[in-house]
Amino acid sequence: MIIAIDGPAASGKGTLGKRLAQHYGYRHLDTGVIYRAVAHELIRQGADLADETRAVRAALELDPDTFGDPALKSQTMGEAASVVSAIPKVRLVLVDFQRQFAMTPPGAVLDGRDIGTVICPDADVKIFVVADPKVRARRRALEARGRGEEADEAKILADILARDERDQNRPVAPLKPAKDAYLLDNSKLDIEAGVRAAIDIVEAVRAGRLRV
Ligand code: DC
| CA-163 nearest atom, ligand 1 | 10
The pLDDT assigned to 211 comes to 64
Residue 164 lies in a domain: yes
Residue 212 lies in a domain: no
The pLDDT assigned to 11 comes to 67
Q: Could you tell me what percent of the chain has a pLDDT over 70?
A: 97
The pLDDT assigned to 205 comes to 92
Query: pTM of this prediction?
Result: 0.92
What is the whole-number distance in angstroms between the Cα of residue 26 and the centre of ligand 1? 21
The pLDDT assigned to 72 comes to 94
Give tens-digit pLDDT for 11-36.
665 589 999 999 999 999 999 999 99
Residue 157 lies in a domain: yes
The pLDDT assigned to 13 comes to 54
Q: Whose CA is nearest to atom 15 of ligand 1?
A: 85
Residue 210 lies in a domain: no
Q: With 90 as the cut, is the pLDDT of residue 113 above it?
A: yes
Give tens-digit pLDDT for 152-183.
999 999 999 998 999 999 899 999 999 999 99
What is the whole-number distance in angstroms between the Cα of residue 158 and the centre of ligand 1? 17
Pocket test for ligand 1, best of 28, 74, 85 (most atoms within 8 A of CB): 85
Any atom of ligand 1 within 6 Å of the Cβ of 167? yes
Q: Please provide the average confidence, as pLDDT, over all residues in the chain.
A: 93
The pLDDT assigned to 12 comes to 60
Any atom of ligand 1 within 6 Å of the Cβ of 117? no
What is the whole-number distance in angstroms between the Cα of residue 78 and the centre of ligand 1? 7
Q: Using CA atoms, how far apart are residues 92 and 125, in angstroms rounded to an integer?
A: 23
Residue 106 lies in a domain: yes
Give tens-digit pLDDT for 59-103.
999 999 999 999 998 888 999 999 999 999 999 999 999 999 999
User: The domain spanning residue 120 has which CATH number?
Assistant: 3.40.50.300
Q: Whose CA is nearest to atom 3 of ligand 1?
A: 78
Average pLDDT, integer, range 3-14: 80
What is the DSSP pairing of strand 2-6 with strand 27-30? unpaired
Any atom of ligand 1 within 6 Å of the Cβ of 111? no
| CA-11 nearest atom, ligand 1 | 1
Any atom of ligand 1 within 6 Å of the Cβ of 163? yes
Residue 71 lies in a domain: yes
Domain limits at 132? 2-205
Instruction: Report residue 147's pLDDT band, with 50, 70 and 90 as the boundaries.
Output: confident
CB-count burial class (<10 Å; 0-12, 13-18, 19+) for 174 = middle
Reduce the secondary structure of the chain to three states and give it as a string.
Answer: CEEEEECCCCCHHHHHHHHHHHHHCCEEEECHHHHHHHHHHHHHHCCCCCCHHHHHHHHHCCCHHHCCCHHHHCHHHHHHHHHHCCCHHHHHHHHHHHHHHHHCCCCEEEEECCHHHHHCCCCCEEEEEECCHHHHHHHHHHHHHHCCCCCCHHHHHHHHHHHHHHHHHCCCCCCCCCCCCEEEECCCCCHHHHHHHHHHHHHHHHCCCCCC
The pLDDT assigned to 57 comes to 97
Residue 130 lies in a domain: yes
Instruction: Report residue 9's pLDDT band, with 50, 70 and 90 as the boundaries.
Output: confident
**Total domain count for the chain?**
1
Pocket test for ligand 1, best of 40, 113, 167 (most atoms within 8 A of CB): 113
Residue 21 lies in a domain: yes
